[in-house]
Structure 1
Amino acid sequence: MNIDLSGKSALVTGSTEGIGFAIARGLHEAGAQVVLNGRSEAKVDAAVARLGGVARGRAIDLGTAEGAAELVAAEPAFDIVVNNLGIFQPSDFFETDDAVWERHWNINVMSGVRLARAYLPGMGQRGWGRMLFLGSESGFNIPADMIHYGVSKTADVALARGLAKRMAGTGVTVNSILPGPTLSEGVAEMLKDEVAAGKTLEQAGVDFVKAHRPSSIIGRPATVEEVANMAVYIASPLASATTGAALRVDGGVIEFII
C-alpha cells in the first residue's frame, strides 16, 4: 500500500506534540504540505523545526471563535483537516462547574465545528477533501471521573457522522477516530508519579490500562504512531469508501464488535 499525499495541503490542530504531532509527521512523510497548530509560538516553532521540509506553523488559540477566524483568514483552504485539538481534566461531576464544561465544549467540540463550517464548502467545490475528528473510546465508555470530557467526545463522533451525510456526493469524506489509552505526553504527565517511584513509562502505562481499562485486548496503551497510522490512511485517496465512520484504535477497549 502506497499512500501518496503529494500536492495535498493539511492542517492538524493541536499538533505541537502527542497524537497531533504524530499525525502531522505521518502526513508530512506521505508528501502533504502540513500546517501545525498550537497556542504557543515557541512550541509551534519547535514542532515545525522537528518536522522540517516545507511544514509551517500557526500559533493560534482555536478554542475561540476569534482564533478560528484568524486562522481561516490566514489559511483559506485545505485539502485535509484533522481536528485533533482537545483537553481532558479529571473532575467529579458534582464539583465540575460551568466553566470547565464550557472550556471542554469550546476546545473539544466547537473548534471542529468552526473549522468544518469554514473548510468543508471549499473541499466540496473542489470535489475532494478529508476531514477527521479525534474522538475517544471515552465517548462510548463515559468515564465517571470525566463525564464532561466523555460528553464532548461523544459529540465529536456525532458531529463527524452528521457532516459525512451533509457532504454526501461531493467527494469529501468525514470520519472520527477513537483512540484508547495512548502514551502521549499528556498521559506521561498523568503517570509521572509512578515513573518517579521507579516504574518505566511503558510499565506504568500497562498498569494503568489493567486497572482502568480492563477490557483492553492488547493490555497496553497504544503508541501515538499507531493512532497516526489510522489517521494518515483515512486522510488518503485510498480511503474513499470510508465516511461517516467511527474508527477505533482503542486496543479493543470498547465492548462491542461493530
Structure 2
Amino acid sequence: MASVLSLEHLGKQLPTQQHTWLFSDITVDIASPEITLIMGKSGQGKSTLLRLLGLLDTADDGTIRHLGKTPTEWGPEKWRMSVSYVAQQPVMLPGSVEDNLRAVSRLHKRPFETELARTWMEAVGLGEMDWSKQAAQLSGGERQRVALVRSLLLHPTVLLLDEVTASLDTISKRATEELLVDLHRREGTTLLWITHDWEQARAVGQRIWFLAGGRLLEDSPADRFFEGPQTQEAQEFLSAHLVQKEDAPCLP
C-alpha cells in the first residue's frame, strides 16, 4: 500500500537570499494514518513546510507524494481536497458564517452536509453561533474554528494544521483537540500539526518531527522524543522549555 505522505529530499530556499536554504534534504515517510507534531524554534520553516505540502508554495528541490502520486498526477484541486491546509490566521471568505461553511460544497459541486457541519461546530464550542453572522465580525478564535470545520467538510485524508488552537481559550482548545483526535481514530485522518504548546504535544502527539538548522533532525515516537532526544539541538530545545516552565510565576 502506498504511503499516506512521503517527502523525498524536499528543500526550500529563502526568497530574499539566493542559494540560502530555509531547509533542505527533508526525506520522511508517513506510511499509515497518524498524528505527527512538527516542533522547533521559530524561523525553522515549519509553516513553509506545511504550505509546500498544501501546494500553497513551491519547493525548490525534492518530491512530494500522497498515496503514491505526485501533485501533478493528482491535479491541484484534487490534491487540496485530500491534503487540506488550515492556517494559523485563516482567511474568511466574504459573507456569512454559513457562506464560509458552504464554500466547499459550492466549489466542488456536492451536497452541503448541514447536520455534520452543526455537529462539528458544536464540538468546537460554536454550537450557539448564528450562522447569519458576517464572517468579518468573528474573533480570531472563532475564525480558526470556522476555518477548521470548513476544511473538515472536505473529508481530507491529511489535515495540515498550523497552530490551529493558538488563539483559543483552554476549554475551546481541549474541545478542538478532542474532535481532531476523534476524527483520526474514527476516520483514519492523518494530522500533521505544528504546535508550540508542549502540553498539547504530549497529549495528542504520536510522532514528532523536530526541525533545526535547516534539517529534519529528529523523527521519532513522541514518548521517545520527550524522554530522550537524540541530538544536542533537541536536548537544548527541551531544556530551554523546562527552564521557562520553572521560571514561570506561580499564581496565588
Shorter-chain TM range is: 0.3 to 0.5
Greater RCO (CA < 8 Å, at least 6 residues apart): 2
Structure with bigger helix share is 1
Greater Cα radius of gyration, structure 1 or 2: 2
Structure with bigger strand share is 2
* TM-score normalised by L of structure 1: 0.33
* TM-score normalised by L of structure 2: 0.33
